Chain A
Amino acid sequence: MKYFFLFVVSIFVVFVVSFQGISAQTFRGKVTDKLSNESLIGATVSLRNTKFGAKAGLDGRFRITGIPNGTYTVVVRYIGYQTIEQSIIISPTSDSARVNFAMLPSQLKRDQVVVEGRKNLSTEASARTSVQNSPTVLNIVSAKTIEVSPDIQVAQVIQRVSGVSIERNQNGDGQYAIVRGMDKRYNYTLINGVKIPSPDNSNRYIPLDIFPAELLDRLEVTKALTPDMEGDAIGGVVNLVMKNAPEYFLFKANASTGANLQYFGPNSRKFQEFNTSVQSHLSPNQINPPAPDGTRYQATMADFPLEASKFSPVTPMPNLLAGFTIGNRFGEQKEFGAILATSYQSQFLGTTSHLFTTDVNRENNSTAFNSVLGREFSVHQIRSGLHSKLDYEFSPLNKISLYNAYVRLVDQQSRFITDTNLARNRVGSGEGTVAIEYRSRQQIQNIYNGTLQGIHLLQENLKFDWSTVYSIATNNDPDMATLQLTTESKLDSNGNHRDLPIFYDQDYLRRWTSNSDRDIASYANLLYTTGDEEMSIDYKIGGMVRLKARENIFDRYLIRPNPSNQEYTGDLTQTTFRIFNPAGSNRNALNYTIDENVFAGYAQSKIQFGNYQILAGVRFEHTALSWITESDASIPGATGDRSYSDLLPSLHFKYMPTKQINWRANYFRSISRPGFFEVIPYNIFEEDYRQQGNPNLNRVTADNVDIRFEFFPEALDQILLGVFYKRIQDPIERALQVQGTSIAMTTQNFGVATNYGIEADFTKYINKFGIRANYTYTNSSITTDKSIRYRVTEADVVKFNIDTTVIKVGSLSERIESQTRPLQGQSAHIGNISLLYKDIEAGWDIQLSGILTGERLAIISPFKDNDEWERTTLQVDISIEKELSDIGLTFFFKARNLLDTPLEHFIKQPSTNLIGNPPLQDNPDRILVRRDLYNRTVQLGLRYTL
C-alpha cells in the first residue's frame, strides 16, 4: 500500500513537469464577479481571431503565453455573466501585460434583497463566500466539490467536514454524523432549512445514507446556533440544500457502473440471493384485519412462503448508478423557474464479519467469551431520490416556491451466521455446539418533504417570509425470516472434523415491523432593516409550530417444527411446521403512538458597524409530548404526557479587521430531546438485567462556546482555526441502576459532562495542485454508573454497607460504582486530507482522500472496564475525472475503501486472561471482539452537461 501512495505522488510530479512551458509574451490576469468578488473559475479569456485563449484557474487567474506583439481584442465569457470585450496591446516593452476583469451577472434588474435565492450556490467559490459572510460558525461543502469527490451518498460527504466523523452501518458505509464528538442524538438534519422526520423506529435522528449526494447544491454544517434556528442541537446542524432553479437552461446527466471487488476477482465469494418478491409487504394481520367482534385472523403456513429462506449463491449484476438534472427559467422577466433532479443507485455490497459474544465473569468482573460468530452479509442496496423546485416571482417584491423532495433506500439483505459456542460442549478448538442462522430481510425507508415558501418585501426595509411544510418518513421491514438451526462439531479419533446432522432449533421466526413519522410545520419570519453607511441594524422575529405524530406496528410469528427433532436437509418443504401463535403478536407491548408538538418563537438583532458584527437574541421553545402504549392501563405510565419549555439565548460576535480575516466568538444555549422510546415506561427482562423505560428522563441542555479565527487569502484558499467548549447538563446515557435487590438498565441523565476541542481547517491551491486538510482534537468526559460482579468478603460487608440477612458473605453479588469515560462516539483525533489536482485547460480533476478516525467508544457496557472501543481507522478513496474535449462530456473513475480498512472493536483487558484459547486474538494487551471487512468498490462512468 505504501507503494501505491508513491505511485500516485509521482503522477502528480509528472504532470507538473510536463505542463511547464516557455513563454514569449505573456498575458495574464484575474477574472472575478464584480459584486461579490468571487473568482470565476473556468471563465474563458480569448484573443479574438487568434488561437490564443485560456480558462481562469482555481484562483481566478489565467495565463496566455507565447503571444506575438500586436493589438488584440480580449473576449471574456462566463455563463450567467455579461461578456466583456476589451482592447489590449502586447509589446516587448512590457513582457507581460496584466489585466483583471470584473464581470457583472447578466440578470441584474431585481433588488438584491429579494433575489437572494438566485445566486449559484453550487460552486466552491460561493461556498467559501458564504462561510466568510456568515454571522455564525459554518462549514460548507459545495456541489462541485461533491461532484469531483469519490462520494455518492450524503454520509460519505459529511465525513470530510472538519469536526465531523461518522458512525457506520452494517455495510461499512457511513450512516450517522457525529459532530465534534457529540453523537447522533445531539444533532439534527434539515432539508432546505426545514426539519425532517426520521424513519428510525424509536429515535429522532436521520440516517444520512438515505440521501444521494448528487441532489445537493451544497451541504451546510452549522456549529453555533442562532435564535432563528431550531434549538435542539448540541453538536451541530446539517442542512441539505437541494438544487435550485438555475438562471439559464441546465441539463446534466450521468451514468456509471461498478462493483464491489469481493464478488469479482480471484478470491471472490458468491452473493447469497433470495427471492425478494416472495415477501409480503403487509403482515397477515394487516391483510386480514380483525373481525368487528375482535376475533383475529389465524395464520396458516400459506402466509409464510418457505422460499423466503431459500438462498442461491450467484455472481451479482454490476452496480448501476444514474441520474439527471434539468432546469430552466421561463417567462419574459424570467419570473418562473423550475428544476427537476433525480438519482438512482443500485449497488451490491457485502460484509464478512467475525463477532464474539461476551459475558462478564461473576467472580472478578473480567471479560469472558460465550461464542464466536462468523457472519456473512450479502446486500443489494437501491437508493433513489427525486427533487423538484418550482418558483414564481409575482413581482420584484413577492416570490413563492414549492419544493418537493423524495428519497428512498431499499436494503435487501441475506445474513448467514455460524455461531460456535465457546463454553458448552467445547473441549478444544474444532469442537463445540454450533448454531446456524439464515436470515433474509428487506428494509425500505422513505422520506418525503413538501415545502411551500413565500418571500415578500412588504416595504423597502421590511421582509416577511413564511413556509408550510408537510413531511412523512416511513420505514417498512416486512417478513424478516430467521431460520435457526443447530448442530455439533466434533473431532473424531484422528483429529478430523466430523459434522453431526443439523436439526431445527426451537423457533423459525417471521416478523413484520413498520413505523411512520409525520410532521406538519409552519414557519414565519419578519426582518426589519435600519441604519446607514456607518451602522446597520437588523431586527428579526419569528415563530414556528410543528405537529408530529408517530406510529409503530409489530407482528411476530413463531413457527416450530413439529415434531421438534426433524433434521434440516436444505429443503424446508420436507419439514412439517406448526405455527405457535397463529394470531401473531400484532401489538408489541412496546408499541406506541406518540404526539409531539413544538411551539417556538424568537427575537434577534444583528448590528453591523465598522469592522464589527454582533448578533444577539433569544429563542423560546415549548414541547408537549404525549404517548399511548398498548400496555395494560394498570401499569403506571401506559399513557402519559410531558411538557417543558426552554429559553435559549445566543450571542455571536464577529470582528473583520480586513476583507480577508474574521475573528469570531459565539455563545449559544441549546437542548436535545430524549428519543421517543426512552421515555415510555416499558419493562423487558433480559438475560443479565432488566431493561426499563424512564418517563422521568429530562431533556439535555448545553451551554456552548466557540472562538474561531478565519483567513481567506486568494481564490479558494482558506485557513480556519477554532476552539470550542461545551458544558452539557443531564446528558442521556444508558446505564445500570440498583432498585432494591434488583438491577435494571435504564436510560438516565448523568449530571454534567464536558466536551472541548480544537478544530483546524486548511485549504491551499498552488497552481494546479491543491491540498485540503482538517484536524480536530476533542476531549470529553462523563461519569456514569457501572456494575461490578464480585464475591462478597467480610471486608466488603463493611466497605459497601451490605445487609447480611439478604446477601451472605461468600455469595456472588453485584454492586454499582461510577466510572468516568469519554462520550460515546467521540474520538480524540479525527482528520481529513485530500490531495487535489485540477487542470482546467486539459480538463483533469483528480482527488485522493484519506480520512482518519481515531479510537472511540463504540458500545458502552453495563459493567465496569468492559466497554467496547473501535480501533483507529484510515480510509482512503480516489476519484479521477477527465473532461472529454468541449462537448460537455466528462469521464470519471472512483474507488472507495482502497485499503480495505477493517472495522475492529476491542475491550481494553489483556487477552491472555481468556480461557480456552479462542481464535483471532493477536494482541495480548486487548481482546478483539469484532472484525468486519467490506472490500473495495469501484465505479466508472460518464457525465454530460449541456
Chain B
Amino acid sequence: MLTLQKLFVLLLLIGAIASCSDDKKNPVNPTPTDTTGISGNQEGTLKAGTYRVTGDIVVPEGKTWTLEAGVTLLFQGDGQTVATSPEVRVLGTFRSLGTKDKPVVLTVPSNLATIENYDRGYWGGIQGFETSPEMTIKWTKITHVGGPAGPNSYVGVYEDGDPRYAVVYNNVNGNVVIEDSYISGTADDAVRFLGGKCSFSRNIVEMQGSSGGECVNIKSGVVGVIAYNLFIGAATNGAKTSNSGGSTVQCNVDIYNNTFVNCGYRRTKAGRGGSINIEAGARGQIYNNLIVNCRYGLRLVSGSDLPDTANTKYGNNFFYGSFPSLVADFLAATPGSVSVQQASDVMSQTPGANDPMFVNYNVMAFTEDQLRTSFSPFAGINTYSSYNFRLKTGSPAIGKGKTNFTPALTSIPNGTIEGPSADIGCYSTDGKGLKY
C-alpha cells in the first residue's frame, strides 16, 4: 500500500514538473504563437530595443536584471485572466534605468494603450517579493496595469481575481526607489509598499484606479519619503500611509512637496477619497503639499484607526477648492479626520479664492459635476497631457513652504532624496522637484 502511494505521488510530481517545462511557471498559459517574445527567467542587462513580453518574467533570487535606457517592453496581455496578463516577478534585484531622453517604457501595444482603456489592466505589473534586496525604477513609463491575480500571483498580497498593482515591494530590509517616472492608467493601486526603505520622488501618476485604490499605498514596515510628485485624477487618495500589516517596524513616511489635482472622485464610499490619508498608527511629516480640487483635504483618520498623532506633524499645505463643498471639507470640517488647520496653511476660505496660478492649467476649468463624474472625457481632468503645473511668479504658493525639518530618510542607494523646498508643490523655484 505504501509503495503504491509513493508511486502515485511521484507520478503527480513528474506530471507537475513536465508541465512546467519551457520555464513557464503557469501551467495553463496558452502556447504563444510568437517565438520572438521574451518571458521566463531573466538576468543580466537588456539592451535598448522593443521587446514583446509573452509570458511572466521572473528575476530569480540572487540575480539582477537591468533594463537599459531605451528599452520598451510591450506586454502581450488582454487583462481577462491571470494567464493572459503577464507580470514581472522580482525575487532578486530589478533595475529599470531610463534617462530623460531615452526612458524605459513598460506598456502594451499601441492599439490598446488608449485613454479609454486606462483601467483595462492588460498586464500584471512588477511584483517585488520578500527576497528582493532592491528595486530601482528611474525615468520609466508604466501604463495600463492591473490584470487579475491568480493562483501563481503573489500569494498573500492578492486574492484570486483581484486586480494587481503596478509596483509592489515587500522586503522590510531592502530598498525600493521609484524616481522621475510616469505611471498612467491602473485598475487599482498604482504602487503598494509593504516593507522596506523607499523613495517615491519626482514622479507623475495619472488615471489611477477605476473605482478605488490609491496612487501610493504604504503599509507597516516602510520608512521613506513621498516627495515632489504630481498626482492627477486618482480614484481615492494620492498618498495613503497606514501602520497595519503586522510589522514591528512602524510605517514612517514623510509626504512633502507634492501636487494633488482632481483626486478622489471615483471612489463612491462616503468619507473615502481625497488627497492624503494617514491612518492606523502610521507617522510622518506632511508639509508643502499643493492640493487642488480634491474631494477631501488632508485627513488623519479619527476613531480606532487613528494615526500616530504624537509623531505626525503637518503644516504649510495649500488647499484650493473651486466649488463650495470642497472648501467645506478641508481639514477639520471633514468629519472623520482629526486634522486641524495650521497657521502656516494656505487655504481657500471661499470657492475660487487663492488660485495657485499654474503656468498652464485653469483651476476653474471643470464644474463640480464634471469632476464628480470624471470618467469621460478623461482627457484634461485626469491626465497630465500638455498642462504645465509650474507656478507663475506671484503665486501664493511660492515661499510658503517649510524647510527646517529632516525627512525620515535622507539618502538611499541608487536614488536621490531631495530635501524640502521653500515653495509649496512639486516644482521648486530653486530647481528641485519634478523634472517633467
Contact = CB atoms under 8 A, between A and B. Distances in A.
Our verdict on whether A and B bind, yes or no, reads yes
The residue in B9, B29, B150, B248 that gathers the most chain A C-beta atoms within 10 A of its C-beta is B248
A169 interface: no
A294 B28 contact: yes
Given A743-B248, A807-B250, A814-B246, A423 B304 contact: yes
Given A423-B304, A626-B5, A631 B161 contact: no
A626 B17 contact: no
B20 A641 contact: no
A741 B305 contact: no
A904 interface: no
Contact of B2 (A561, A624, A741, A814): A624
The residue in A358, A564, A630 that gathers the most chain B C-beta atoms within 10 A of its C-beta is A564
A588 B151 CA distance: 6
Contact of A368 (B194, B221, B303, B372): B303
Contacts of A690: 156, 245-246
B152 A564 contact: no
Nearest to A560: B211
Interface string B367-382: 0000011010000000
A84 interface: no
B161 A589 contact: no
Contact of A290 (B28, B221, B268, B270): B28
Contacts of B156: 682-685, 690-691
A231 interface: no
A945 B267 CA distance: 65
B81 A581 contact: yes
Contact of B25 (A435, A487, A632, A744): A632
Interface string A650-688: 000000000000000000000000000000001111011
B176 to A, nearest CB: 16
B180 interface: no
Given A368-B303, A545-B1, A585-B161, A563 B151 contact: no
Nearest to B268: A503
Interface string A554-575: 1011101111110000000000
B155 A589 contact: yes
Nearest to A367: B304
A743 B247 contact: yes
A821 interface: no
Interface in A583-606: 583-585, 587-589, 591, 595, 597, 599
Nearest to B60: A634
B419 to A, nearest CB: 20
A425 B272 CA distance: 9
A504 B268 contact: yes
Contact residue range for chain B? 35 or more
B132 to A, nearest CB: 14
A810 interface: yes
Given A633-B25, A641-B9, A742-B246, A685 B194 contact: yes
B271 interface: yes
A359 B172 contact: no
Contact of B373 (A369, A370, A565): A565
A813 B250 contact: yes
Interface string A797-808: 000000000111
Contact of A599 (B1, B81, B268): B1
A635 B153 CA distance: 11
Contact of A564 (B30, B268, B302): B268
A645 B235 CA distance: 56
Nearest to B15: A628
B246 A812 contact: no
Interface string A39-83: 000000000000000000000000000000000000000000000
Given A369-B304, A426-B336, A597-B5, A421 B80 contact: no
The residue in B12, B155, B212, B281 that gathers the most chain A C-beta atoms within 10 A of its C-beta is B155
Contacts of A736: 246
B292 to A, nearest CB: 21
Contacts of B9: 626, 639, 641
Contact of A685 (B80, B245, B268): B245
Contacts of A909: none
B302 A589 contact: no
27 contacts: A294-B83, A296-B28, A362-B308, A424-B336, A425-B336, A427-B335, A433-B271, A506-B211, A506-B269, A564-B210, A589-B150, A624-B2, A626-B5, A626-B9, A628-B12, A631-B152, A632-B151, A633-B16, A639-B13, A639-B16, A683-B156, A685-B245, A689-B246, A742-B245, A742-B247, A806-B248, A807-B248
9 shortest interchain CB distances as A-B pairs: A423-B303, A585-B161, A368-B304, A683-B156, A689-B246, A585-B160, A564-B211, A424-B336, A583-B81
Interface of A: 290, 293-296, 298, 358-359, 361-362, 368-370, 421-427, 431, 433-435, 486-488, 500, 503-506, 545, 554, 556-558, 560-565, 580-585, 587-589, 591, 595, 597, 599, 624, 626, 628, 630-635, 639, 641, 682-685, 687-691, 736, 738, 740-744, 789, 791, 806-808, 810-815, 915-916
Given A581-B81, A633-B17, A635-B155, 15 more contacts: A370-B303, A421-B271, A424-B335, A425-B335, A435-B269, A556-B160, A558-B161, A565-B373, A589-B160, A597-B5, A630-B151, A685-B194, A688-B244, A738-B248, A808-B250
Interface of B: 1-2, 5, 8-9, 12-13, 16-17, 20, 25-26, 28-31, 80-81, 83, 148-153, 155-157, 159-163, 172-173, 187, 194-195, 210-212, 221, 243-250, 252, 265-272, 280-281, 283, 301-306, 308, 310-311, 335-336, 372-373, 375
